[in-house]
Amino acid sequence: MSVRRSSTARARLASVLAEEILQRPDTVPFPIASEHELCRRFDISRVTVRLALGDLENRGLIYRKHGKGTFAHGRSHQVHRDIGFLMKAPQAAEHRPITEIVRGAQNVMADLRAAVVLLSRPPGEWRSDVATSLGGVIVFPQDVTENDLQILRDRNVPYILAAHSLLPGPRIDLGQRRAARKFTEQLLELGHRRIALLSGYDMSLDAIKREGIHDALDAAGIDPASISEFSTGFEERGVLPTVQRLLASDPRPTAVIAFDDSLGSMLNCAARHTEGMCVPSDLSIVSFHNWPYLHFIEPILTTVGFEFYNAGQRAAEALNRASLTGEPIADISFEPSYRFGQTVGSAPIL
């Protein structure tokens, strides 16, 4: 048997046995087939069987008793490794979308008697005990390199990218790009051509929205470079000056796509109370994230929500399962939920 065939047989046996164990409802340990029975069932060598069983033992699914056989841990005794959050830009943790993803993952791991671990150092600098304790990693791609991900692959640590990136690997698709395109198309259909962007919320989250906006502009034959963008510089103290600069621009936009509800609400208030504008007659505003604490501001923002909390749950479940079965992780996708408020109208006649 060639090395490649043996390796494939080993992985296949480990995957099949892991799936069978995970599907069993037993809460207490139960015996599994003997090495001899597995050799006959899968038509593979005893060496390959022992290697596959060793993989399952390392994953915490089985244990062996000398002279008695091999046993699978019941559901209440399965060993679940921690889930890591690779976040090389720690300031990103201040943003609610990311805290919601972390909270969703924590909810899953708490039920499994495991934890989530926040990691700001690159994988090459992790202590050996940290690396071996992880069943998977949720990666926030800002400042992460392909070499960082290659180290995870070399260590057989499954990972999933939590935000837009050109990095390779499975990813969470929350629908931001589709939502940004839909909002831009809506504004164009209403006659808006002087559209501005109000950005500077989060580098990764901003990037995917910008791509959706450019998709719509390209489809309409409009050069994205002709659209003005006003950025806060990713600093809270920069929000108000940026909003004031946008409203003082000449020509002033008739519609603004704000990259977060906090930016949209600040623009909404400044336009009405400082500039005496009417929203949406003079200025249409769309934003993102549909944060509940802004539901009471009038006029009600037209915005869109994303399943950040559920994304954290699904990602933790997928990584945990991958760490037990050795199976690759697939992309995780969600549909955005729109809230059509009172801040969008037809372009004013100029």
* pLDDT band with cut points at 50, 70 and 90 for residue 7: low
Residue 220 and residue 296 share a domain? yes
Residue 212 and residue 295 share a domain? yes
- Give the best-scoring range by mean pLDDT among 45-49, 241-245, 290-294: 241-245
**Mean pLDDT confidence for 184-212:** 95
92-101, 253-262, 308-317, 337-346: range with lowest mean pLDDT: 92-101
Q: Model's pTM, two decimal places?
A: 0.83
pLDDT digits (tens, 9 = 90+) for 291-307: 988 877 889 999 999 99
Residue 132 and residue 188 share a domain? no
Residue 56: which CATH number?
A: 1.10.10.10
Q: Which of 61, 77, 93 is the last residue of a domain?
A: 77
Domain contains 344: no
| 103 burial via Cβ count (<10 Å: 0-12, 13-18, 19+) | middle
Domain contains 350: no
Residue 167 and residue 315 share a domain? yes
Residue 232 and residue 164 share a domain? no
Domain contains 278: yes
Residue 99 and residue 151 share a domain? yes
The reported pLDDT for the residue numbered 350 is 63
* pLDDT band with cut points at 50, 70 and 90 for residue 79: low
The reported pLDDT for the residue numbered 67 is 77
Residue 127 and residue 52 share a domain? no
Residue 282 and residue 229 share a domain? yes
CB atoms within 10 A of CB 181: 20
Residue 182 and residue 297 share a domain? yes
Number of domains in the chain: 3
Residue 313 and residue 302 share a domain? no
Task: Give CA separation, 42 vs 59, 64, 179, 276, in Å.
Answer: 21, 20, 48, 77
**Distance between CA atoms of 237 and 330, rounded to whole angstroms?**
39
Q: Is the pLDDT of residue 194 over 70?
A: yes
Domain contains 229: yes
Q: Where are the alpha helices (DSSP H) in the chain?
A: 3-23, 35-42, 46-58, 96-111, 128-133, 146-154, 176-189, 203-219, 239-247, 261-269, 308-325
Domain contains 125: yes
Chain mean pLDDT for the chain: 90
Residue 211 and residue 123 share a domain? no
Q: Which of 34, 57, 77 is the last residue of a domain?
A: 77
Q: Is the pLDDT of residue 280 over 80?
A: yes
pLDDT digits (tens, 9 = 90+) for 121-175: 999 999 888 888 899 999 999 899 999 999 999 998 999 999 888 999 999 999 9
Q: Is the pLDDT of residue 3 over 60?
A: no
Residue 121 and residue 38 share a domain? no
Domain of 36 in residue numbering reads as: 3-77
